[in-house]
Amino acid sequence: MTGWLLAIWLLATFCIIFFARELSGLSIFGWPLSFYLAAQGASLIYLAIIGFYAWRMRVLERRFRREDQA
């Protein structure tokens, strides 16, 4: 799971930088799409990765805690 989350992090970071020129032709609310993704989108992706990791670890800890008590 950690490997997959790191791969998502790498792809999100790399794709924004690599495709910035192509994405700058598109705009959202007057801002270039590459700027929007770098400023807001990447931060939201990173936050989602952290939230998913924390949620999944909580579920796994509860499962293994029950198994240890039994």
pLDDT digits (tens, 9 = 90+) for 6-65: 999 999 888 877 877 777 788 878 878 777 777 788 889 999 999 999 999 999 999 998
Cα 27 from Cα 65, distance rounded (Å): 49
Angstrom distances, CA of residue 45 to CA of 22, 27, 32, 41 = 20, 20, 18, 6
Say how many Å lie between the first and final Cα of the chain, rounded.
26
- The pLDDT assigned to 51 comes to 97
- The pLDDT assigned to 3 comes to 95
If one counts every other C-beta atom within 10 angstroms of the C-beta of residue 46, the result is: 14
Q: How confident is the model at residue 69 (pLDDT cuts 50, 70, 90)?
A: confident
Residue 46 belongs to domain spanning: 2-69
Q: How many domains does the chain have?
A: 1
Please name every residue paired with 23 in a beta bridge, in sequence order, or none if there are none: none
Of 45, 21, 42, 46, nearest in space to 32 by CA? 21
